Structures are given as structure tokens and as C-alpha cells.
Amino acid sequence: MIKFLHTADLHLDAPFAALSPEQAAARRQEQRELLTELAEAANTHDCDLVLLAGDLFDSAGASDETLLALRRALASIRAPVFISPGNHDCLLPGSAYLTERWPENVHIFKTDKIEAIELPEKQLRVYGAGFTARHERPLLEGFRAKADGWTNLMVLHGDATQAASPYNPITPEQLAASGLAYLALGHIHQASGLLRCGSTYYAWPGCAMGRGFDELGQKGAYLGEVSDSGVRLDFLPLHGRSYEILRVEAGDDALAAVTAALPEDTQNDIYRVILTGEAEPVETAALQAALAPRFYALTIRDETRPRRALWEGAEEDTLRGLFLQALKAQYDAAQTEADRRKIALAARCGCAAMDGREAAE
């Protein structure tokens, strides 16, 4: 059995442009700390190898702090590490992959031609290639792994979601014909789960850390096992802040509505709260000030609609008019504000039902 750690799309030194300069710098430091967490996971789980499937860096360059943290983390891993550069960190002149000295246990695939590294003691062969430009041709086209009883793995950055993708498009036919036991992929930022074409298993672990509201929720890596019975993957959640989107009906009290809808322990996360439904104009600046201490970062979007005049149409000689007339009489006779709110809600719900829509409470 072969045990491995598969991760991709760390995008080290990302700008985090939507955050304050101080928060962005802190997030880049958190990315560097993630490297140590990944290295410790590989050692703790006694992995036989680590597969890094591209876009390790957000661009071809990298800061000195990041390079130092990366070299230290990789050197601490008690297993060989294989890196396939992607479209963000492709092998352009000046790339850190080409200019830096890397630990002895690290192999970087430095051409766009698939090559193999053999580990005879494990009867294991690791194939790979790297992007040499921002766009890359179909690298897997025509490939077939050596069939000699060894376990054949591959690490690549590529896209199997679009046949015309400029990012090393991979087809089901290529996967099925590859003869690989497992293909460790990068490029897609959402974890795919374990997939299969023919006898070849493959997966994208998603990005290791969210960087925006298109990368929501818990992020992580895959711990995998290859055996005679096939491939098994377990998702390894990684520590870090998550990006979350929360849609809330603003109602009569937006602050109360948002507060009631929030899960516990949001202080470390980055939220976008979207206010919806019919409501009176919302003072978003005041709402932001009141809620901001509950998050690492918060943005508020007001997508509410102006509330209709509640008793508009009460004088009409229609079913709606008769309905509103009856409730307005009750509303005017109500003795408490709580009773008036209940009657007003009943009026809104009734009108919404007649219109075939949901009511905003």
C-alpha cells in the first residue's frame, strides 16, 4: 500500500486585495504557517510521498519570507515531494522553481514533457510535467504508463471540465487510457472527491486556503492510499479562516435579523452578508459598525426591495381590498404594538400569497 498527501493551489503570496493592508499581510503569514501544517500532516500520517499539483505560488515570483518557509517545510517532510508547476507559477525565466536551491527530497517537474521518477524500494513510479507558460497544451494526450506491475501515479496541473480549456485540458478518454492508478490534479479550487475513468482514479483537492467569496467554506488537502483494491481518499481539513456568504431577510430590524441568523464563532472568518426581502431603507454603515466586531472582515450588500405601502388597495372593490379592509380594522383596534405587528405580518403574508410570492417578514 502507498500512502500520499495531495494538495494544490496554495497561491502563496496572494495579494488579498479586498482586505486591509494589515489583514492582507496577516493572511499571507497564515499561508506560510499552512506549509508547516501540511508538512506535519505528511509526517504524522507516515505518507510515502507528497504530491503538490501546481499553483503553489500565486505568481512566478515569491517573497524571501515565503521561500524560506517553504524550503523549511519541505525539508522537514520525511518523504519525497513532487511538484508540478501550474499556470500561476509556470516555469518562466526567473521562476523560483528554476533559480532556488530546493531540499534533496524535492523533485520539481521542469518541462512540459511528461517524465517519470522511480522509487524502486516501493515499486512506485511518479510521473509529472509542468506548465512552461500561462497556457498549456494537453499534456496527457497520447500518454500511457509503463505496465510492469509497479504502481503508477502522476501529478499534474490541469482542467478536465472544459475540452477547449487553455490550461492543459484532460479528457475522459485520456484518463481511461493512461494506465495510472491515481492522477493528482490541481487547478480546480473546489474539492472534487474521488473520481474515476476506466481504471484510473483522479481528484482535485481544491485550494488549501480560501482567498475570496468564490472559494467558500472549509478548505483542505487529501490523504490517499493506493492498494490492490483501488484508491481511497480522506479529506484533511486545514486550519484557517473561511469565506462565507449569508443571505438574510432584513425585515423590520436588519440588525436583529442578521444576529439571529449568524452561527456561533464567526470571529475568525470573513463574511459577506446579503440583505434581502422587502424592508425600509437600511443604514448599512451603522449596521456594519454594529456587526464588524463579530468577524475578521465583513462586507454588507443591500439587495432589499422597497416595502409596499401595507394598506395600499384597501379601498378597492376586490378580494385583496376586502381582505385588507378586514385586517386594517383589526389593526386600528389593536391595543398593543405586538398585536399590530402580528396583524401587519398577516396582511403582508396574505397579499404575498395572492401575488404568488414569499412575504418579507
Q: Mind listing the pLDDT tens digit for each residue in 254-299? A: 999 999 999 999 999 999 999 998 787 899 999 999 999 999 999 9
Total domain count, the chain: 2
- The x, y and z cell numbers of residue 205, run together, are 483537492
**356 is a domain residue:** no
Q: Are residues 55 and 133 in the same domain?
A: yes
Q: How far is CA 215 from CA 122, 207, 243, 247, in A?
A: 37, 8, 7, 17
Q: Which pLDDT belongs to residue 361?
A: 52
pLDDT digits 0-9 by tens, 289-330? 999 999 999 999 999 987 767 788 888 889 989 999 999 899
Q: Do 266 and 291 meet the contact criterion of CB atoms below 8 Å apart?
A: no
Q: Are residues 124 and 258 in the same domain?
A: no
Q: Which pLDDT belongs to residue 360?
A: 55
Q: Are residues 232 and 256 in the same domain?
A: no
**344 is a domain residue:** no
Q: Which domain holds residue 132?
A: 2-237
Q: Are residues 195 and 265 in the same domain?
A: no
Smallest Cα–Cα separation from 186: which of 129, 234, 269, 239?
129
How crowded is residue 339: how many other Cβ atoms within 10 Å of its Cβ? 13
Q: Which pLDDT belongs to residue 281?
A: 83
Task: Give pLDDT < 50 ranges for the chain.
Answer: none
Smallest Cα–Cα separation from 361: which of 254, 351, 348?
348
Q: What is the pTM of this model?
A: 0.85
Q: Do 2 and 124 meet the contact criterion of CB atoms below 8 Å apart?
A: yes
Q: Are residues 31 and 156 in the same domain?
A: yes
Q: Which pLDDT belongs to residue 315?
A: 86
Provide, for the chain, the percentages of residues in helix, strand and coil under a 3-state DSSP scheme, each rounded to the nearest 5. 30, 25, 45
**320 is a domain residue:** no
Report the C-alpha gap between 100 and 111 in whole angstroms: 16
Count H helices, E strands: the chain?
8, 17
